[in-house]
Amino acid sequence: MPEGYMEELQQKLSQIPVRKARVSLAPYLALAASFLVLLVAGNFVLRSTQSAAPVSDEAIIEYLIESGATLAQVENAYQVSYK
């Protein structure tokens, strides 16, 4: 180690300006904004794909007949749904 190295090092280190630690909110705001964008986009997609008119009983009966559902399956589904 050269002579005077430690003294010179201390002098050089003392010349470095001291910065105050600053907390940045930018990453947190960016994360919150991205969640907000996802929430708004998901809400828009769900609302735009929602059917506007309720399904009639005749349409449900026609669907069940065409799908080949038995009366036992329909009764079971009804009981499970309305218990």
Task: Break the chain into its structural domains and give their ranges.
Answer: 25-81
Is residue 78 within 8 Å of residue 68, measured between CB atoms? no
- Give me the tens of pLDDT residue by residue for the chain, a chain 83 residues long: 777 777 888 888 888 888 887 888 999 999 999 999 999 999 999 888 877 778 888 888 888 888 988 888 888 877 777 76
The separation between the first and the last C-alpha atoms of the chain, rounded to the nearest angstrom, is: 85
Distance of alpha carbon 76 from alpha carbon 64, whole angstroms: 13
Given this model, what pLDDT does residue 83 score?
Answer: 63
Of the candidates 60, 62, 66, 67, which has an alpha carbon nearest to the alpha carbon of residue 81? 60
Given this model, what pLDDT does residue 3 score?
Answer: 78
